[in-house]
Amino acid sequence: MALHVENLPLPVDRSLYQEAIDTYLELSHRHIEALYVFGTNHYPGLSDLDILVVPRNGYLEPLNLHLKGRLPPRFDAIIEHEVFVVPQSQLRACRYMRWADLRHAYGPDVLGSLAGDSSPTTSLSETLEFVHNKLGFLDNLRRTGVLNAASCIRLFNSQRYNVHWLAELGLMEENGYGAAIDALRARLVEAPDPNLVVEMYRVFEKAVTSCARLLQSRLDLDLNSVGQVAAVSQGRVTLPFDGYRIGDARERAEILTSYLQDLVRRNYWYGFPFLTRLFPPPRRNSALEQALFRAFRWGARRARRLRSAQPPLPASPPAASGSRAPGLQGLATRTDPIA
């Protein structure tokens, strides 16, 4: 199948990531209790910006915390998805989030003492969910024949975690997947070339297919089936794997279902880092509540458009030597609660 590559990413200055965090905080810090950044940017421009926020409790917080469309266009190259949102009442859900290189960036460190769950039950459940998701992604790529390079490269890289988790579980060898993707990303940074993206896709396709076949053979489970994977995610079936405990799977399902329900109750339309289709559909707010919040959301969008259409203000005169510039200097490293 011929593949068409579009939206080839270009290298950016590494400082753009911190600048984006600072800009986001300038807009949203009054609504944030704590903020964390995760992931790596070893290949600036190829990696996106990953943010987790613990919001303050307020009715309009969802309108003030989303990321996409709020920052200046110069940050578009590194913004792939929304921030992830975890209310303070749902912090225990973070036990099941395997953030790569999680870094505390703002507010009190509310996750500092929370231990992650790396049990076989959680590792296997997460791997099944992510492989299932990547099979769907592969199916879509094969159907369209279009590789959105900026998005695809980030997903290709994330497959390394599935391979690593399966190796930790003793189900397969890593076989250098991460090293192969890194080598191709390094070449792409040096000389952007669509053929390198196609080569990366082939490596990814082979790895995902191998993982799916292995899991189907080992667990007698069809990873393409939403129903079968959802039954595992919801703790409704056991798996023939040493160390897998269905009680732990049910506890995880209950916590993540409660977390999703809480986001819906608070009117967040974004922020859940798991696949919603694998968990019981949350109860929706009343029709009146939904209509009211849609009106607020529409008003916020319109106000933002009007502000962006206004001409920029004249530049301020330079600050006197030794004086502190206005704004929120050093905000991203602040660790005390906001007054």
Query: Range with the lowest mean pLDDT among 18-32, 90-104, 144-158, 179-193?
Result: 90-104
d(CA 201, CA 221): 25
CA angle 339, 75, 320 (to 5 degrees): 55
pLDDT at 212 over 70: yes
Interval 44-80: pLDDT, tens: 999 999 999 999 999 999 999 999 989 999 999 999 9
| Type of residue at 231 | A
d(CA 133, CA 300): 33
Q: Give yes or no for a contact between 20 and 12, defined as CB atoms under 8 angstroms apart.
A: no
For the residues 165-185, what does the mean pLDDT come to? 93
| The model's pTM | 0.86
What value does the mean pLDDT of the chain take? 89
**Residue 42 pLDDT:** 87
Interval 240-288: pLDDT, tens: 999 999 999 999 999 999 999 999 999 999 999 999 999 999 999 999 9
- Percentage of the chain beyond pLDDT 90 is 78
**Residue 261 pLDDT:** 98
Q: How far apart are the first and last CA of the chain?
A: 58
**Residue 337 pLDDT:** 33
**Residue 329 pLDDT:** 39
Q: Give yes or no for a contact between 83 and 20, defined as CB atoms under 8 angstroms apart.
A: no
262 contacts: CB under 8 Å, gap ≥ 6? 87, 89, 90
Q: Of residues 202 and 100, which shows the higher confidence score?
A: 202
DSSP helix/strand/coil, 279: coil
d(CA 272, CA 261): 10
- Percentage of the chain beyond pLDDT 70 is 90
Phi/psi for 4 (5° steps) reads -100, 125
Interval 298-333: pLDDT, tens: 887 777 777 666 665 565 454 443 333 333 434 443
SS (H, E, C) 21-35: HHHHHHHHHHHEEEE
Of 261, 211, 257, 205, nearest to 230 (Cα)? 257
Interval 121-146: pLDDT, tens: 999 999 999 999 999 999 999 999 99
